[in-house]
Amino acid sequence: MSGRANPTLVDTHAHLDFAQFDADREQVLARAWAAGLVAIVNAGADLPSSRAGVELSARHERVFAAVGVHPHDARDLTAEALAELETLARAPKVVAIGEIGLDFYRDLSPRPTQRASFEAQLALAARLRKPVIVHDRDAHGEIMGILREWAGTSPLAERGVLHCFSGSLEMALEAVELGFLISIAGPITYANARKLPEIAAALPLDKLLIETDCPYLAPHPHRGQRNEPAYVALVAEAVARARGIPVAEVARATTANAARLFGLGKRP
């Protein structure tokens, strides 16, 4: 990595509120800024985590928050919880609703409950004119079916992002058609990665975001350890290698894409 010459980067998906960062959160943030990050979007996993993300964004100028209930906790999205989510979503630095979606890999909430929770939060996002951060694990067909129906109800031209993308190139291209960006995470750096470099190379550069999903999915050579926002630089390098272009170009484009999707430059 090229040190201080690093161009600006945005980690569009982090879980800095998680307990894994309790001991050294400030140092983790300091390393992120030192690595050239200009913004981090903290994704909400449930209501307490969404609250914590909003608080974190109030304390740190370059931290923004998404609020939402993850499919694992879909059963917790009661009417009261949805009302609180809406209140949280109106906080000044909340830039998206997320992460929301379907997880048919772990199936921690019943699938009909996951669908209902996802659809209720998509409707909230459309009503509040916010983009969404979508989690999709082993639910590609169903996710696309729901997004196809929902897309026309969002007033935004760019409606959200499929985070930590794991689908096919065909799916990515259809999502782009529907007004979504595609976010690439650490797995693109793994030795056995085939599909992700191909997707990162094939999509228009103005449709790509990069993220860590920290504390999970640390990129090579940190695989298996705790991940942190500074490592998003390794994802940018992998995207640059896949496309055969300078990392500075990837950094510039993905930072501009994040700023545009999440409105990072125009907060009150």
HEC readout, 20-37: HHCCCHHHHHHHHHHCCE
Work out how close the CB of 15 gets to Ni ion at its nearest, in angstroms, rounded to a whole number: 6
Q: 64 vs 25, 204, 237, CA distance in Å?
A: 15, 25, 24
Q: Which residue is nearest to Ni ion (CB)?
A: 213
Work out how close the CB of 9 gets to Ni ion at its nearest, in angstroms, rounded to a whole number: 18
Which residues, in sequence order, are CB contacts of 141 under 8 Å at separation 6+?
none
Work out how close the CB of 134 gets to Ni ion at its nearest, in angstroms, rounded to a whole number: 11
**What radius of gyration, in Å, describes the C-alpha atoms of the chain?**
17
Work out how close the CB of 113 gets to Ni ion at its nearest, in angstroms, rounded to a whole number: 19
Q: 93 vs 17, 24, 101, 115, 266, CA distance in Å?
A: 15, 23, 22, 27, 10
Work out how close the CB of 202 gets to Ni ion at its nearest, in angstroms, rounded to a whole number: 24
Q: Which is nearer to Ni ion, 7 or 121 (CB)?
A: 121
Q: Which is nearer to Ni ion, 139 or 247 (CB)?
A: 139
Q: Which is nearer to Ni ion, 9 or 100 (CB)?
A: 100
Q: 16 vs 56, 100, 112, 143, CA distance in Å?
A: 8, 17, 30, 26
Question: How many residues bind Ni ion, per CB under 5 A?
Answer: 2
Site for Ni ion in 30-49 (CB under 5 A): 43
Helix/strand/coil for 134: strand
- What is the contact mask toward Ni ion in residues 187 to 226, using x (rule: CB under 5 A)? --------------------------x-------------
* Residues making contact with Ni ion (CB under 5 A): 43, 213
